[in-house]
Structure 1
Amino acid sequence: MSASFKDYHFQPFINDAIKDLGFENPTPIQSKVIPTIKHGKSVIGKSATGSGKTHAFLLPLLDQLDPKNEKTQIVITTPSRELAYQIYDNVKQLVRFSPETIHIANYVGGTDKERQIEKLEREQPQIVIGTPGRILDLTKGNHLDINTANKLVIDEADMTLDLGFLDVVDKIAAGMSKDLQMMVFSATIPPKLKPFLKKYMKNPVLNDIPTASVINQDVDNWLISTKGQDKNSLIYKLLTMGNPYLVLIFANTRERVDEIQEYLQVQGLKVAKIHGGMQPRVRKRVMKQIQNLDYQFVVASDLAARGIDIEGISQVINDDMPSDPEYFVHRVGRTGRNGMEGTAITLYGPDEEDKVSELEKMGIKFKPKEIKNDEIVDSYDRKRRANYRGHHDKLDGSTLGMINKKKKNVKPGYKKKIKRAIKMKDEKKHKIELRNQIRSKKKQKKRSSQRYR
């Protein structure tokens, strides 16, 4: 594994960009992927948000790009507009140190298509970034010429599949150069994705970075039970305790995003929201305001989670457990980046125990917390009841049967009844043992007296 970016012998302008970003050493995914891409091999990068995967493909691709060749050389697809804008900004940051002009274009739905066509008539971009639908639309109209490009990046492939864009990406790939080098990045590799990968990738190099290594050590991962509490007021308390720099609150649905934002605004907080149901121009405007730090609090859906990349997010709050456990990594990956500390707070209800356990099986460790006297303090292990129940294994079968029978019809005070029943059982057992001891002593005394007659 390489210890320094200098080992890759990038062009000077790329090294200048790396220095400007403040990157010191490559992340695990960068160490594995960069050499493979530089050697022209197809890659499957299984890694999640916060792992540095965007620069893992951008750095070697820009290093190999020929500025003198004015035709399209690289195509990058993303499932969301926000992610396309993010990668577009990343590329602009990297190429601004280039001594020669590199033409980049970002094509997403909801933007001015006619204006894009007019510009394409004058020049073709060397790097194409965008959502699959708009890219395919421009190629089918013979405006965008991608048959000269031999490098295709499919970012967030699992999300591309979930949103039904894989067929569109398939058509894009079919219109590109035959000697295609494909780079696929995904948090997971679902079975439905594999036929597509086999179609275009011959002996790809699989780089699998375990989820556990992606949950940054600089992130405090807290778990708070919502049992018996109003979730909205709990979120408000968390936001107003201390002085967080920038907080992202993630919810599972658009409706819930709207609800949280409205509640917090009524409480007097300035809160932005981002989800897929908003008009593209509104989403774009709000994203720019968020990046300008006009808002301290942002409520977002999981779709938008993959497009938000803001420096200095100090806290992430999960309104509830995400519908897909992999989304948890994407959410938490928004904080604790570039050596900065962060806190991820996950709220969970009594019916979400299985989801918490599923995340723990993935290697994610939680610290149980609760709010007491307007302070966040350590709480008990939520598994303590299970551990206590383990004590019953030492009891005999009839006592266990009695406990189980009592539990079937739970009524107020049932715990006291069970304790009383166990106590009575133990007292009865002790009396029997005492009686047996007395009988045994009497028998011994009788035998010894008969022996001396």
Structure 2
Amino acid sequence: TLASGFEEEIDQITDILKSARMMVFSATINESMMPFIKKYMPNNKLIDIKNDNNLQIEHFWIPLKHKSRDERLLELMNIINPYLCIIFCNKKENVLHVAQFLRQNKISCIEIHGDLDKRNRRQVLREVESLKYQYIVASDLASRGIDIDGVSHIINYEIPRDFEFYLHRSGRTGRMNYTGIVYSFFDELDNEYLNNLSAKGIKPVYKDIKNGELVDAKERESRKNRVRPMNEKVKQAIKFVPKSDKVKPGYKKKRQEKIKKITKKLYQEEARKNFFRSKKHD
């Protein structure tokens, strides 16, 4: 709710209930919630039910390598044969795009996103439970708000913006003593994200797709010559997004998104200049 733009409404309610005992429950508590908790729960006690990352879930990361996400997705789907797979996208528009793309390639699927009303959502779940579909294309609504049994595979068409959503997505599989597999596509701009995953105890295995097969790939850290230039671009991007004196819930996430967008534009501009520079020498 805090991340959905209801900060002011919550602020008004909590201001009325100052004498009430307040409790906050969440599968994950990220940094954006801390200003709220410190403001209204200054003497808070944290009860953390420790749960090691599911060892029954394997995390495979596949580089895009200048290919489109659609190309990589189709390559991967020609290799795997899941019992039930959820393909996660960050936006509803991308959910619709991926679903249409799969159907164009004669792959049957169904989509779930926030614009579906309850009746249509229940209909989708009934069809999924009857095993009518092998693939579900979904927004993060399905990572938290909907319970789907029997998910054997997860594909992150796009990496979720928040680490917590990566956990929620991964948590759709590997349940009830079954194993699960999570595939994620990444590019060089995701190095910091991958470092954070490793720091949180998730150890991704790097794979590549060659000749229609999944093969082991070199460790990302060994490619330092490709990581170093990115850091310079990030430094340039940070200059365009100065820090604000007034910090609201979700500020850090929004700032990181802006930095990432600007960094990507800087790379695109550099690639464009290099292209025209090479044309002059031809």
Instruction: Give the TM-score of the pair, scaled to structure 2.
Output: 0.70
1:123 alignment partner in structure 2: none
Cα distance in 2 between the residues matched to 1:354 and 1:204:
31
Deviations 1:283-340 (A, max 9, x none): 3322332233322101111233212322221100111221112211111111111211
1:411 Cα offset (Å):
8.4
> Does the alignment pair 1:198 with 2:36?
no
Q: Of the candidates 363, 369, 387, which is equivalent to residue 207 of structure 2?
A: 369
For structure 2, list consecutive stretches of 5 or more residues without a partner in the other structure: 229-272, 276-282
Quick one: structure 1 residues 230 and 411, their matched pair in 2 at CA, closer, same or farther if it must change by over 3 Å?
closer
2:28 aligns with one of 171, 181, 187: 187
Cross-structure match for 2:70: 232
Checking the alignment, whether the CA contact within 8 Å between 1:214 and 1:329 is kept in structure 2 is no
1:163 aligns with 2:4: yes
Task: State which of 58, 75, 89 in structure 2 corresponds to 1:251.
Answer: 89
Q: Distance in 1 between matches of 2:74 and 2:118?
A: 28
User: Which of structures 1 and 2 has the larger relative contact order (alpha carbons within 8 angstroms, sep 6+)?
Assistant: 2
Q: Deviations over 1:202-234 (max 9, x none)?
A: x65412256xx4421011111100112232132
Q: Letter of the 1:163 partner, please give it.
A: S
Q: Are the aligned partners of 2:152 and 2:174 in contact in 1 as well (CA < 8 Å)?
A: yes
1:350 matched to 2:188? The reply is yes
- Specify the alignment match of 1:208 in structure 2: 48
Are the equivalent residues in 2 in contact too, given 1:321–1:356 (CA < 8 A)? no
> What's the secondary structure of 2:25's corresponding residue?
strand
Q: CA deviation at 1:345?
A: 0.6
Secondary structure in structure 1 of the residue aligned to 2:29: coil
Give the gaps of 5 or more residues in structure 1. 1-159, 391-409, 413-453
Contact 1:222–1:367 (Cα < 8 Å) also in 2: yes
Please show how residues 122-201 of structure 1 align to structure 2 within 5 Å: 160-165=1-6, 182=23, 184-189=25-30, 190-195=33-38, 197-198=40-41
In structure 2, the residue matched to 1:393 is none
Whole-angstrom CA distance in 1 between matches of 2:12 and 2:25: 16
State the one-letter code of the partner of 2:141.
L
Q: Give the corresponding residue for 2:248.
A: none
- The normalised TM-score by structure 1 is 0.45
Q: Cα gap change, 1:184/1:170 in structure 2, threshold over 3 Å: closer, same or farther?
A: farther
- Counterpart of 1:206, as a letter, is L
Contact 2:63-2:208 within 8 A present in 1 as well = yes
| Structure 1 residues 385 and 243: alpha-carbon distance in aligned structure 2, compared to 1, 3 A threshold | closer
Deviation string 1:47-94 (CA, Å, 9 cap, x unpaired) is xxxxxxxxxxxxxxxxxxxxxxxxxxxxxxxxxxxxxxxxxxxxxxxx
Q: Per-residue CA shift, 1:93-132, capped at 9, x if unaligned?
A: xxxxxxxxxxxxxxxxxxxxxxxxxxxxxxxxxxxxxxxx
Q: Which amino acid aligns with 1:219?
A: I
Match of 1:292 among 130, 148, 152: 130
Identical positions, percent: 32
2: CA distance between counterparts of 1:350 and 1:304? Answer: 27
Question: How many aligned residue pairs are there?
Answer: 229
DSSP-derived class of the 1:309 partner = coil
Partner-residue secondary structure (3-state), 1:368: strand
